[in-house]
Structure 1
Amino acid sequence: MSVVVANPSASEDYFHFFGLHQQFKIDLPALDQAYLAIQKEVHPDRHARGSDAEQRLAMQMTTYANTALQTLKNPVQRGLYLCQLHGVDAQLETNTAMPTAFLMKQMDWRESLDERAEDLGELEVLMAEVQASKEETLAEIAQAIDGANNYVRAAELLRGLLFIEKFAIELDDAIDALI
């Protein structure tokens, strides 16, 4: 038995690997379906009796498919990957500059969390606001990438989305502590 799917070349990106268009808004069920089809062909158990080279290739393909799936399923990782494919480094570790309005909103949210840490109703209202901001940011990222091919702007928005998601986790923890 031989491995049906060839080893992905260095030029093949995760989107092409799954037969998807390179865009931020993707068809997640189609992604899952493509992943399952690939896994069915390359799963190491299917090649247990193959040569060492076939087994190694099956393991590499499985690892590649898993990494590709996780990258494309997560909106932040998908956006960062698209930016990278188009030569834009989001500089997550070194670029923490954010627009003043965004920083002010972050400060307001943190202040609200501190002041209302014991008020479940107020925290749930705050969570709704944070979720709305996250959805708005995701829509802006989709427009920057899919609509305008503006990967620099998308990288800025993705950095902001990471802040929003981190705060949402803290807020969710505060809500859980009250329940």
Structure 2
Amino acid sequence: MDITQSYFEFLGLPVSYQLDQQALSERARELQKTLHPDRFSHLSDRERRLSVQYTAYLNEAVATLKNPLTRAQYLLQLEGVDTFSESRVQLDPMFLMQQMELREAVESIPDADDPEAEIEEQLQVVEQQMQELRQQFATFCVQNSPSALEAAAACVRKMQFIDKLGREIELLEDQLFDD
């Protein structure tokens, strides 16, 4: 075990955006059994600490690779592209306008005749956009060029917007319907 390896290497999985979720889960369970701190309770402090570190790294790897957005961000990070903190990057003005319109629609949900139906509609719009962006990202990933990497990074930044909007809609749903 080596926590300097990429998450893919650590889990013994191919480096790919298209990831077999079942293989990820099975490999994670195998490693959890092997690395569980209880298996190291009779060993030295150093070996117990390493077990805890490996388990934490495994949990972080699984959480990252399980989610399509964080998996995309991680793949770009492996290529030296930081999509977490880059705020100076320009996004497509049409995309930004679309996001403003979606946000306005979400803000008007509490005043709608049927807020529940409006929430469902907006969640469908978000899921559809996210699915399209995932497909675009997967296409860019298989191309091995600087322009494809740049396009993949732009795609992930859009995915971040859509993901945030989806979480905001779910929060609004909780506020409106969880009494």
Range that drifts further, 28-37 or 92-101: 92-101
What is the alpha-carbon distance in structure 2 between the residues aligned to residue 103 and residue 178 of structure 1? 27
Tell me the residue number matched to 1:40: 33
Tell me the residue number matched to 1:3: none
Runs of 4+ in 1 over 4 A off after TM superposition: none
Counterpart residue type for residue 31 of structure 1: L
SS at match of 1:26: coil
Q: How far is the alpha carbon of 1:118 from its aligned partner?
A: 2.7
- 1:49 alignment partner, one of 35, 42, 47: 42
Q: How far is the alpha carbon of 1:96 from its aligned partner?
A: 4.7
Answer yes or no: is the 8 Å Cα contact 2:3–2:54 preserved in 1. no
Counterpart residue type for residue 74 of structure 1: N
- Could you tell me the TM-score, scaled by structure 2's length? 0.86
- 2:16 alignment partner, one of 19, 23, 31: 23
Q: How far is the alpha carbon of 1:9 from its aligned partner?
A: 5.5
- Could you tell me the TM-score, scaled by structure 1's length? 0.86
Identity of aligned residues (%): 35
Answer yes or no: is the 8 Å Cα contact 1:47–1:55 preserved in 2. yes
Answer yes or no: is the 8 Å Cα contact 1:117–1:123 preserved in 2. no
Alignment of structure 1 residues 67-146 onto 2, 5 Å: 67-90=60-83, 92-119=85-112, 120=115, 121-145=117-141
Return the structure number with greater relative CO, CA threshold 8 A, min gap 6: 1
Q: CA RMSD in A?
A: 1.8
Stretches of structure 2 that go unaligned for 5 or more consecutive residues are: none
Change in CA separation of 1:165 and 1:174 when aligned onto 2, cut-off 3 Å: same
What is the alpha-carbon distance in structure 1 between the residues aligned to residue 155 and residue 20 of structure 2? 22
Counterpart residue type for residue 148 of structure 1: Q
Answer yes or no: is the 8 Å Cα contact 2:69–2:160 preserved in 1. yes
SS at match of 1:117: helix
- 2:160 alignment partner, one of 155, 159, 162: 162
Counting matched residue pairs gives 171
